[in-house]
Amino acid sequence: MQFTLQAQDSGSNARAGLIKTAHGEIQTPIFMPVGTVGSVKAVQVTDLAQDVKAQIILGNTYHLYLRPGLDVIKAAGGIQKFSAWNRPMLTDSGGFQVYSLSGTRKIHAEHGVEFRSHIDGSKHLFTPEKVMDIERVIGADIMMAFDECTPYPCEYKYAKASMEMTHAWLDRCVKRFVETEPVYGYEQALFPIVQGSTYRDLRRISAEKVASVEVAGGCAIGGLSVGEPKEDMYELTELVCGILPKGKPRYLMGVGTPENILEGISQGVDMFDCVMPTRNGRNAMLFTKNGIMNMKNKKWAEDFSPIEEDGASYVDRLYTKAYLRHLFHSQEYLAAMVASLHNLAFYLWLVGEARKHILQGDFSVWKASMVGKVMQRL
Is 133 a catalytic site residue? no
100, containing H or E segment: helix 95-100
| Identified catalytic residue from 141, 147, 270, 273 | 273
Q: What type of residue sits at position 131?
A: V
219, containing H or E segment: strand 219-221
Measure the CA–CA gap between 333 and 256, rounded to whole angstroms: 25
Measure the CA–CA gap between 199 and 152, rounded to whole angstroms: 11
CA 2 from chain center: how many Å? 19
Is 92 a catalytic site residue? yes
Is residue 54 exposed (0-12), middle (13-18) or buried (19+ Cβ within 10 Å)?
buried
| Identified catalytic residue from 92, 141, 147, 270 | 92
Phi, psi of 163 (to 5 degrees): -60, -45
Measure the CA–CA gap between 264 and 244, rounded to whole angstroms: 14
Query: Is residue 348 classed as helix, strand or coil in its secondary structure?
Result: helix
Measure the CA–CA gap between 374 and 137, rounded to whole angstroms: 40
Query: Is residue 169 classed as helix, strand or coil in its secondary structure?
Result: helix
What radius of gyration, in Å, describes the C-alpha atoms of the chain?
A: 20
Phi, psi of 190 (to 5 degrees): -110, 130
User: Which residues carry out catalysis?
Assistant: 92, 273
